[in-house]
Amino acid sequence: MKGGYGPCISCHSALEAKNVGTAEPEKKSAPRPKPKAPKKAKRIVYFEVEILDAKTKEKLLLLDKVEPTATILDIKALFQKSNPKWYPARQSLRLDPKGKCLRDEDVLQTLPVGTTASFYFSDLGPQVTWGTVFLTECAGPLIIYLMFYFRLPFIYSPKYDFTSSKHWVVHLACMCHSFHYIKRILETLFVHRISHGTMPLRNIFKNCGYYWCSAAWMAYYINHPLYTPPYYGQQQVNTAFYIFLFCQLGNFSIHVALRNLKSQGKPEFVKKIPYPTKNPFTWIFALVSCPNYTYELGSWIGFTVMTQCVPVAFFTAVAFIQMTVWAKGKHRSYLKEFRDYPTLRSSILPFIL
């Protein structure tokens, strides 16, 4: 027997066979994820809008496939295309012939209507912008009062034409009256952000008639040659003048505060609760919802005491009644729109009204 200890052939073959048997199988590649099917676009439910005459119930227009996000202003614009004379500011659309006029920013799909919506149309008549109304209301009294102050002919006796009063309070009253209306004109141009776009043209004659005639009535007596100064003399005039000036500054401060409040909201019709600012004149917001009317009332009370004139007192009383109506309406609107509205506030007079 030959020497040596090399592996036998059978064992080597068996080892190879074992190695082959235990070899790891090839890894299969991971299956590719199936592409997601594209999401189906949401089906838009279009509205059918019919516009009826509020008086006769006659169908004026049928709009087909109106988008649900369309606003009342959009619908008015579509209505104008078939009736050019009825521009949007002249249109009034309601859900009920005797219901409340819908706002331009109201969205169709948020209204209590089905996919077939019916709106009742009323013609508001020719319109004029509120800015024009305010400027006309203020420019008239300013000019009319100065006509009486300079005593133009055909107002008093001819011997008083272009003469001047001998009483200092008459000149002070003219300066205060002119300052008030110049301030209002400048505020209309540069301060106010008017939320209402237009008003009926016929109303401008009513509004201007009231302000212009009142200014003429007051000016006639204050600048009359027989006018007598206040009973308590210069002390009464000075006190009333300080009240007038204080309230004019307060009124201006409130208007600026309201303007800044509106400028923060986007879009502009977004409403916010007015609060006191660093300006001390605005601290009255803690007690009153409409302090601009409070200060306005104070200005006319000061003017009344300064001139001690019955027509001025009558104008102040009427203005107070009207401003109270406006203030109460605004106060109710605040309470309705804001659940967290301060309960301590009154409409125009703290703790009283």
In order of start, what are the domains of the chain with their CATH numbers? 47-125 (3.10.20.90), 126-229 (no CATH), 233-353 (no CATH)
Radius of gyration of the chain (CA): 38
Q: What is the mean pLDDT of residues 306-333?
A: 97
Q: Which residue has the higher pLDDT, 261 or 29?
A: 261
What is the rounded distance in angstroms from the CA atom of residue 135 to the CA atom of residue 204? 11
The closest of 350, 343, 305 to 327, measured between CA atoms, is: 350
Q: What is the mean pLDDT of residues 40-55?
A: 82
What is the rounded distance in angstroms from the CA atom of residue 89 to the CA atom of residue 105? 13
3-state secondary structure (DSSP) of residue 133: helix
**Structural element, H or E, at residue 233:** helix 233-264
Q: What is the mean pLDDT of residues 30-40?
A: 63
Strands 116-123 and 91-94: antiparallel
Using the predicted structure, report yes or no on whether residue 21 has a pLDDT greater than 70: no
Listed range (7-21, 105-119, 162-176, 196-210) with the worst mean pLDDT: 7-21
Compute the mean pLDDT over every residue in the chain, rounded to the nearest whole number. Answer: 87
3-state secondary structure (DSSP) of residue 159: helix
Residue 88 DSSP one-character state:
G
Instruction: Report pLDDT for 265.
Output: 47
Q: What is the mean pLDDT of residues 59-83?
A: 91
Confidence bin at 270 (pLDDT 50/70/90) = low
Tally of CA atoms within 13 A in the half-sphere of 30 that contains its CB: 3
Using the predicted structure, report yes or no on whether residue 272 has a pLDDT greater than 60: yes
Q: What is the mean pLDDT of residues 175-195?
A: 92
- Cα separation values, 144 from 14, 73, 200, 289, Å: 127, 40, 25, 33
Residue 129 DSSP one-character state:
E
Note if the bond before 68 is cis, omega within 30 degrees.
no
Using the predicted structure, report yes or no on whether residue 53 has a pLDDT greater than 80: yes
**Structural element, H or E, at residue 53:** strand 47-53
Using the predicted structure, report yes or no on whether residue 5 has a pLDDT greater than 60: no
Amino acid at 279: N
